[in-house]
Amino acid sequence: MSEKVPRRLKITSSGMADWATLQTDILGLIIKKLTVPDYLRFRAVCTSWNHVCKYESYCPRVDPWLMLPPNLNPLGVQFFCIPERKNQSIRLPTTISLFGSVWAPVGSLNGWLIYFSQTYGTMQLVNPISGRQIELPPIGRRIFSKAKLLEMNERNYIVAVLYGDGKGYKITRKGSNNWSSVESKHILDDIIKHRGRLYTCDKYGTVEVWAEPPRAWPDEEDTHRWRFRCLVDTPAGDLIRVKRLGQNKFAVWILDNETSSWVEADNIGDLALFVSHYNSFSFPAKDHPNLKANCIYFIDIHSNLCAFNLEHGTKELVETLAAGLGRNEQYRRPQGDQLLWFIPSLK
């Protein structure tokens, strides 16, 4: 592997600085401070800067985003960057076909979005940063509750679909030409892949790991009108179960792998949880401006971005999004108007 050769800033005959010759190490420091959209603009400035961006050690800062409902804006997809409190626009290579009256985003993981066309009964995976697209096997026009991207890497991808009016789920993976059906005892609320195994949470709060022998951890409380449950993986390898207790109140449990039991917690350390109907994930709050640790970020019934503090049990208004969430009759999701969380990825 060839060593990096530092470049020094040169002065042209006109006395102007030649920024294309700026030292590599200095450029690397700048790149690490950039957000993904600024990074894309940065590497498009000149051939020299684009070359520096190819070093794996020079990566931009990654922030959690909230995907806003499309309004057929020719500029592309609109995201709200949580830490910076501002919108970001990403242009897709097939914006018109994706954001006409046909396609709708229904899931997200590792920088990829799942799009569904009820008109054609088809799905595809799209990375809005790199522009890559992957066609999935036809799924049919039946309305489903949610689609989950369980795994996404260079070797494999796994997508599952849950139906709100039927038990079990359907699943497909890289190389498959169809969907496999898996039966369950009850209607499922969520599904996640954790440490190589699939976990599901049904409408009664029972969490089951799909392995041999099967094990389950029940939640004995009855369901109510604010029912929302999801499973969240953490960077440390823990599994967290989130339950909505009311309009603006949540509770979390962490799985004890030694005892196979759930332990309720009011402190998840430096993590912030981002939860919604279609996708949920954890994100380290350290070194991210305006991002608060030990909080659950969610959208309330007034279309406001809010944070629930687990330690104090209080809700805080983060940003009013109502102005940007007007209903568009040409934009339809399989279920409701829930929004998507998104973490951009260059891969």
Q: How far apart are CA 347 and CA 157, in angstroms?
A: 14
Which among 240, 239, 201 has a CA at the least distance from the CA of 223? 201
Round to whole Å and give the CA distance between 216 and 210.
Answer: 9
> Which of 37-46, 96-105, 127-136, 316-325 is least confident?
96-105
- Give percent helix, percent strand, percent coil of the chain, each to the nearest 5: 10, 40, 50
Run of H or E residues at 95: helix 95-98
Residue 196's SS3 state is coil
The confidence score (pLDDT) of residue 333 equals 41
pLDDT at 34 over 60: yes
pLDDT of amino acid 250: 95
**289: cis peptide before it, omega within 30°?**
no
**Do strands 10-11 and 112-117 pair parallel, antiparallel, or not at all (unpaired)?**
unpaired
Q: Comparing 211 with 115, which gets the higher pLDDT?
A: 115
Which amino acid type is present at position 198?
A: L
pTM: 0.77
Average pLDDT over residues 75-81: 76
Q: Is the pLDDT of residue 36 over 80?
A: yes
- Of 47-51, 177-181, 186-190, 316-320, give the lowest mean pLDDT range: 47-51
Q: Is 250 exposed, middle or buried (0-12, 13-18, 19+ CB in 10 A)?
A: buried
What mean pLDDT do residues 20-38 have? 81
Q: What is the pLDDT of residue 292?
A: 93
Of residues 221 and 144, more confidently modeled:
144
Q: Give how far Cα 129 sits from Cα of 66, 100, 168, 261, Å.
A: 15, 20, 33, 39
Where does the pLDDT of residue 37 fall: very low under 50, low under 70, confident under 90, or very high at 90 and above? confident
Q: Which residue has the higher pLDDT, 238 or 22?
A: 238
223 falls in which pLDDT band (50, 70, 90)?
very low
- pLDDT-based confidence at residue 306 (cuts at 50, 70, 90): very high
